[in-house]
Amino acid sequence: MSILDAKIARLDGTPSSLGDLTRGRPALLVNVASRCGLTPQYAGLERLQETYGDRFTVIGFPCNQFLGQEPGTSEEIAEFCSATYGVTFPLTEKIDVNGEDRHEIFGSLVGTPNEKGDAGDVTWNFEKFLVDAEGGVAARFSPGVEPEDPTVVAAIDALLD
């Protein structure tokens, strides 16, 4: 089974799959939180969506596993992302990215090493996984790597060329 077959609901509760959300395009999968010091990365993620949106998508996965920094309801998360950062990319239901209840999508992602060579559990909010159109993991970036960092942009460009 491909990671793209994994079922996940959209933030509004509509059943979906990762493949539906990516629409057959490469994607940057990011665990997100509204009350984190890294939350301003939403702005960079939205700019990536605006720049590449016809051939690529960003997908945000709200997660409350890191110091309870995503405590809101789906409605509160949607309102915050829209009003504060103008987010237009898809957001999913709130999920776990680590532990016993880790969503299967992240179970498939965490074996990939990041830019430092570290694999394993997601370390914090805004960890980024770049997947190709077939769902293969092309790259992983630590939370502190900004969405528009040249290494992220180069990896996206390489997938799209």
Supply the pLDDT for residue 1.
73
At residue 88, the 3 state secondary structure works out as coil
- Is 81 marked active-site? no
Domains and CATH numbers, the chain: 3-160 (3.40.30.10)
* The model scores a pTM over 0.85: yes
At residue 29, the 3 state secondary structure works out as strand
Name the active-site residue from 6, 30, 36, 156: 36
Residue-wise pLDDT for 148-161, tens only, equals 999 999 999 999 99
pLDDT at 143 > cutoff 90? yes
The Cα-based distances of 15 to 1, 6, 12, 58, 92 in angstroms read 18, 11, 9, 18, 10
* Residue 38 phi, psi (nearest 5): -95, 0
At residue 131, the 3 state secondary structure works out as strand
Residue-wise pLDDT for 24-75, tens only, equals 999 999 999 999 999 999 999 999 999 998 999 999 999 999 999 999 999 9
Residue-wise pLDDT for 75-100, tens only, equals 999 999 999 999 999 999 999 999 99
